[in-house]
Chains A and B, each alone.
Chain A
Amino acid sequence: MTETKTTRLLAFVIAAALLAAGCAPRDHRGQFFGQIEPPQGQVLRYISGSEPETLDPQMSTGQPEARVAIALYEGLVEYHPKTMEAIPGVAERWTMNGDASELVFFLRRNAKFSNGDPITARDFVYGFRRGLRPALASRVAYLAYDIKYAEAFNNGSAFVRDPQTGRFLLASEAPQTSPDGSQTVAAAAAPPDEDALFKAELGKKGEDAAADTPFHKYIHAPERLVVPADAKDREKALKDAPKLAALVAGKEFVPVKEEDIGVEAVDDYTLRLTLRQPAPYFLGLLPHQFFRAIHEKTVERFGVNWTKPGNIVSSGTHMLLEHKPYNQVVVVKNPQYWDAAAVRLEKIVFYPLEDNTTMMNLYKAGDVDATYNHTVPASWLKSGVRNVKDYMDAPENVSEFYAINTTKPPMNDVRVRKAFNMAVDKAALADYRVVVKPNYTLVPTIFLKYPRPKGDPFDPERAKQLLAEAGFKGADGKFDPKKFPSSEVELNYNTNESNRQIAEFIQAQWKQNLGVTVALRNTEWKTFLPMRSRLEYKGFARSGWVGDYMDPYTYLSLYIVKEGGANGTGWWDPKYNKMLEDANRETDELKRFEMLAKAEEYLLEYQPVLTLVIPATSWMKKPYVKGMYPNPGTLHAWKFVYIEYDRAKWDQGTPDMTTDTLAD
């Protein structure tokens, strides 16, 4: 090859590369994005997020793990593919008592593990107890804390027993700590008659459909008092509570055992959960992987290695064939699954990936069939990927906001917090971010029956007025930016491209609308977290929450703090806690939502957070993948997903989310 030819070839390659680079994101090849050839057979190749930490459903915290867990394990209930509400799983039906503090599940009799063993109520009892074992040290054990004595068992508490009478002391006998710190002794004089109380409770709540048992009597009795079981910890806890110390002096301490938790196998196919307080949202939590069925013998035999291929026994629609970390997790249909006839995917290949561009490249080249949420890079969205028919978009069960450190001036003044909130044009922010929606409240818009409070609107004039009222004013009585200590306010975020863009946008808004320049500060994630939770920041810190279940309470409960502040804002209020507690006691759904909304309004009145936007799910799925919907959590029950080979039945855009039918 001559030199001129080499040069020409080189020039050609570079030109071709640049041409391709220039038009690639806009290259639609018609209505869909890239190649659309369905795979051979009922196989789904799915990008599931970063490498799962573990396939043990009780040890994982995130959605990447949940996506695999849904295939491998089935719970009492499963996620509805469109709404993500609880639908029957191993349990074919259930009842809830009048005040939502007790749930009884009736299990189907043909549910089996992948090795053929039947799935019974005892398996769930085992699973719930194991997940709460302190030695297991699961990070998500808190999800089960609503179950009676679950928290006491998980945190190593002990019941207090009177050695003379053998009677356990009750929680109601303990001196109550009121918000001002003083202690009062409530009803300590005459110990209540447990049996009478129990009967009264039963009368109130009506008959259960399941049999009454001695365990049921015990668990339904008034709540027992618990103190730390460890002598050193107990000493520390009692030091600040002299009255409690006096009450428990000379008593026996009986450690709370896993058998004491409010989970009972009434018989092989009836499971009863007793909660410590009414929790109408609790059923919505149960599809979470933490509560899915695991096989006791396998777990106990292999310990930490029980989920490895060859060891694992699964309970879900699929079973594990191969797990190659950072490469792929392959599951195949479980022939023992009770509803195997309805499961259409013979195989699912999960690709753990972290780079968005790589994901979109694989998708475009037709090497994967669907991706998880937030996989489309912002620049691709702006250049038209939004308009292809395989782009999936729906409001998400997520809220993005900034936490405000309410303990440091000037942000300890609610007027200043409100002013900064009102000086942000959230609609403009949403426009800038393309696929998000502005949010003026903490709870996102996805809960249609929830009467959301309005939240403060964008109003720069009122914001300046508030700041002037807070004392930052010039001689003319108007707000003077020079008087504002802007060096005491920073906008903190964890290092990430889109976090930076949002922070810069908000910074510009404050500059423009208030004339105040707030410094930006980015910190690496693991450094950022303790800084925020220990309130070692000034001003604002990026925050966000992915709902654990489909109920506004998953957001509102973030700000229930009992012992003075670990929610990153330093704000807490017993009145707020009480409002939420009362709301959960309400049995009428709409009334409860109203009460929750009142509580949110109360919270927003104190503005410990500056709410920003509700993200959109934003992901892609080839038109031949059916039964997979843009639901608010981007978690898919694989049972309903299949590959459609008939082109006439392919999805032309976002599939219909309104109908109530599960398959179409």
Chain B
Amino acid sequence: MFRFIVRRLLVTVPMVLVVISLTWVLIRLAPGNFYEGERKLPAAIEKNIRAKYGLDQPVYVQYGRVMGNILRLDFGNSLRYENETVNEILRRTVPVSAAIGVSAYLLALLVGITMGTVAALKQNSKLDYVAMGLSMLGISVPNFVLGPILVLVFSLSLYWLPPARWGGFPSWNLLLPVLTLSAVYMAYIARLTRAGMLEVLRSDYIRTARAKGLTERQVVTRHALRGGLLPVVSFTGPALAILITGTVVVERIFAMPGLGNYFINANLNRDEPLILGIVAFASILVLVFNLLVDIAYGVIDPRIRY
């Protein structure tokens, strides 16, 4: 187990470097630059800017600088927000995105697993149809539709909840974005749980458990859920990584100062250090979460050993 973890962590480093290099090449291939605007800048000003940011140096020097920054985990200052370092931006925005994302995911787990389990236990009942109908709705209604509808009802018609803006954690401002964000995950988890549970409930070891005379409740919580939730666990890794790096649509609709807004704008602004910093952060997160998922598998499923 220990050797497995160390090996996986060691692989992470070259993988992140490859991802960053590819991203850097893509940024350089994209037309445009961070400083040009509606009016073409005088040549002298363009020259001053290029000199200030080292863009007049040979490409390999610039690439070397980027790689050096990555290895020191210091991405330098943003090009657009010049008095902020990329690390400062990450430190400030990740907690915001994580607060929304993790809350949404916890809510999704709670509701999704309950719905999925109930649906599986009462397969083909009305309850099953309602739960699965709702989850189909949750998957099909995109969050840029659900968000505004929630705002219209709860903020602009009933005036109960603020329509947008960050109000700290926890606060009422979080309720609508968390609901909006969790809907699709809730639905997805409900379906995964139902499918997993249905499969497990038919397996031999459940029959054994029942034969031993355990109550239905013990059978479900102690034996069935463990196996039935494996698909949810593997879904959780990448889902959490995505949620923590920010979800653009929800952050925009609800004006949340998270990482998602920065990510989109960094690309639109050709803000190279910021793009690289966020990509590095996101790829490290995905790799680490996938590792955690694999470890969790070993813990939950007795059939898997490393």
Which residues of A pack against B, CB within 8 Å?
3, 6-7, 10, 13, 16-17, 20-21, 24, 27, 34-35, 51, 53-54, 56, 59, 61, 134-139, 141-142, 145, 151, 154-156, 304-308, 324-327, 351, 353-355, 357-358, 361-362, 364-365, 367, 524-531, 533, 543-546, 558, 566-568
Given known contacts A20-B152, A304-B83, A325-B81, is B49 in contact with A362 (CB within 8 Å)? Answer: no
A-side contacts of B153, CB under 8 Å: 13, 16-17, 20
Residues of B contacting A327 in the complex (Cβ-Cβ under 8 angstroms): 165-166, 257
Do A526 and B130 touch across chains, with their CB atoms under 8 A apart?
no
Q: Does B39 contact A (CB under 8 A)?
A: yes
B30 on interface, CB distance cutoff 8 Å: yes
- Given known A-B contacts A305-B83, A358-B255, A526-B268, A141 and B261 have beta carbons under 8 A apart: no
Residues of chain B within 8 A of A151, CB atoms compared: 42, 44
Given A351-B165, A367-B162, decide whether A34 and B48 contact each other with a Cβ distance below 8 A. Answer: no
Is B48 a contact of A142 with CB atoms below 8 Å?
no
The reply to whether B156 and A361 form a contact with Cβ atoms under 8 Å apart is yes
**Which residues of A lie under 8 Å from residue B163 when comparing CB positions?**
358, 361-362, 364-365, 367
Residues of B within 8 A of A365 (CB): 155-156, 159, 162-163
Complex: how many Å from CA A247 to CA B269? Answer: 45
Query: B32 contacts which of A24, A34, A326, A529 (Cβ < 8 Å)?
Result: A529
Per-position binary interface string of chain B over residues 42-57, scored 1 when its CB falls under 8 Å from any chain A CB and 0 otherwise: 1111011101110000
Asked whether, in the complex, the Cβ of B156 is within 8 Å of the Cβ of A304, the reply is no
- Of B40, B47, B93, most buried by chain A (CB within 10 Å of CB) is B40
Residue of A nearest to B157 (CB): A20
| B-chain residues with CB within 8 Å of residue A533 when the two chains form the complex | 36, 40
Docked-complex contact A526 and B80, CB < 8 angstroms: no
Q: For residue A558, which residue of chain B has the nearest CB? A: B39
A54 touches B157 (CB 8 A): no
Residue in B30, B42, B77 whose beta carbon sits within 8 Å of that of A304 in the complex: B77
Q: Is B82 an interface residue (CB 8 A)?
A: yes
Asked whether, in the complex, the Cβ of A53 is within 8 Å of the Cβ of B40, the reply is: no
**Contact size class for B?**
35 or more
Report the 3 A-B pairs with minimum CB-CB distance, sorted nearest first: A526-B32, A155-B44, A326-B257
Instruction: Pull 14 A–B residue pairs with CB atoms less than 8 Å apart, ordered by A.
Output: A21-B149, A24-B152, A56-B83, A139-B35, A145-B42, A155-B44, A156-B47, A324-B92, A327-B165, A351-B165, A358-B254, A362-B163, A364-B156, A530-B33
Q: Which of A135, A527, A543 contacts B30 (CB 8 A)?
A: A527
Contact B164 A362 (CB under 8 A): yes
CA–CA, A398 and B38, complex, Å: 13
- Whether a CB of chain A sits under 8 angstroms from the CB of B107 is no
- Provide the bound-state CA to CA distance between A524 and B39, in Å: 16
How many Å from the CB of A157 to the closest CB on chain B?
A: 9
Residues of chain A lying within 8 A (CB to CB) of residue B276: none
> Could you tell me the distance in whole angstroms from the C-beta of A540 to the nearest C-beta in chain B?
16
A54 touches B81 (CB 8 A): yes
The distance in angstroms between the C-alpha atoms of A341 and B270, with both chains bound, is: 45
Q: Is B109 an interface residue (CB 8 A)?
A: no
Bound-state CA distance A531–B31 (Å) is 9
Residues of B close to A154: CB separation below 8 A: 44-45, 48
Q: For A545, what are the chain B residues with a Cβ–Cβ distance below 8 Å?
A: 38-39
Q: In the assembled complex, which residues on chain B have CB atoms less than 8 Å from the CB atom of A3?
A: 126-127, 130
**What CA separation (Å) do A7 and B133 show in the bound complex?**
11
| B120 smallest CB distance to A (angstroms) | 17
Min CB gap A328→B, angstroms? 8
- Among B49, B83, B162, the one with the most A-chain Cβ atoms within 10 Å of its Cβ is B83
**Are the CB atoms of A53 and B31 closer together than 8 Å?**
no
CA distance A54 to B78 in the complex (A): 11
The CA of A107 and the CA of B49, in the complex, are separated in Å by 33
Residues 258-292 of B, flagged 1 when their CB comes within 8 A of A and 0 if not, give: 10011001001110000000000000000000000
A35 touches B159 (CB 8 A): yes
Please measure, in the bound complex, the distance between the C-alpha atom of A27 and the C-alpha atom of B148, giving whole angstroms. Answer: 16
Tell whether, in the assembled complex, residue A526 and residue B156 are in contact, meaning their CB atoms are under 8 Å apart: no
Does any Cβ of A come within 8 Å of B106's Cβ?
A: no
CA distance A357 to B149 in the complex (A): 12
Q: 0/1 per residue, B157-176, Cβ < 8 Å to A?
A: 10100111110000000000
- Give the distance in Å from the alpha carbon of A544 to the alpha carbon of B37 in the complex: 11
CA distance A308 to B82 in the complex (A): 12
Question: 0/1 per residue, B1-45, Cβ < 8 Å to A?
Answer: 000000000000000000000000000001111011111111111
* Residues of B that sit less than 8 Å from A by CB: 30-33, 35-45, 47-49, 51-53, 77, 80-84, 89, 92-93, 126-127, 130, 134, 148-153, 155-157, 159, 162-166, 252-255, 257-258, 261-262, 265, 268-270
Docked complex Cα distance between A544 and B269 (Å): 19
Closest residue of chain B to A53, judged by CB?
B80
Query: Are B42 and A325 within 8 A (Cβ)?
Result: no
Cβ contact within 8 Å between A307 and B149 = no
Q: Whole-angstrom distance between the alpha carbons of A558 and B159 in the complex?
A: 48
B40 touches A139 (CB 8 A): no
Closest to B79 in A: A53
Compute how far the CA of A35 lies from the CA of B92 in the bound complex, rounded to whole angstroms.
32
By a CB distance below 8 angstroms, the chain A residues around B45 are 137-139, 141-142, 154-155
**A54 and B166 contacting across the interface, CB-CB below 8 Å:** no
A137 and B48 contacting across the interface, CB-CB below 8 Å = yes
Nearest B residue (CB) for A367: B162
Nearest CB on B from A50, distance (A): 8
List chain B residues, Cβ under 8 A from A530. Answer: 31-33, 36
Q: How far is the CA of A416 from the CA of B159 in the complex (A)?
A: 57
A567 to B39, CA, bound (A): 8
Contacting residue for B31 out of A10, A155, A527, CB 8 A: A527
B156 is contacted by which of A24, A529, A544 (Cβ under 8 Å)? Answer: A24
Known: A134-B51, A139-B49. 13 other contacts (CB 8 A): A3-B127, A7-B130, A34-B156, A53-B81, A154-B45, A154-B48, A325-B257, A351-B165, A358-B163, A361-B151, A524-B268, A525-B268, A526-B32
Q: Which residues of B are found within 8 Å of A558, using beta-carbon distances?
A: 39
Max count, chain B CB within 10 A of own CB: residue among A3, A20, A155: A20
Report the minimum CB–CB distance from A276 to chain B (whole Å). Answer: 15
Are A21 and B152 in touch, CB under 8 angstroms? yes
What A residues does B162 contact at CB under 8 A? 365, 367
> Which of A139, A308, A361, A566 contacts B164, CB < 8 Å?
A361
Using A17-B149, A154-B44, A526-B36 as known contacts, say yes or no to A54 and B164 having CB atoms under 8 A apart. Answer: no
Closest Cβ–Cβ distance, residue B274 to chain A (whole Å): 12
Q: How far is the CA of A543 from the CA of B40 in the complex (A)?
A: 12
Residue of A351, A355, A361 ringed by the most chain B CB atoms within 10 A: A361
A17 touches B152 (CB 8 A): yes
CA A365 to CA B253, docked complex, whole Å: 15
Chain A positions within 8 Å of B156 at CB level = 20, 24, 27, 34, 361, 364-365
Question: B40 touches which one: A7, A527, A567 (CB < 8 A)?
Answer: A567
Q: How far is the CB of A3 from chain B (nearest CB, A)?
A: 5
- Name the one of A51, A138, A306 contacting B81, with C-beta atoms under 8 angstroms: A51
B190 to chain A, nearest CB (A): 15
- Inter-chain CA distance A151–B48, complex, in Å, is 12
| B-side contacts of A155, CB under 8 Å | 42-45, 47-48
A20-B157, A35-B159, A134-B48 as given contacts; A355 in contact with B255, CB under 8 Å: yes
Contact A139/B37 with A134-B48, A156-B44, A526-B31 known, Cβ cut-off 8 Å: yes
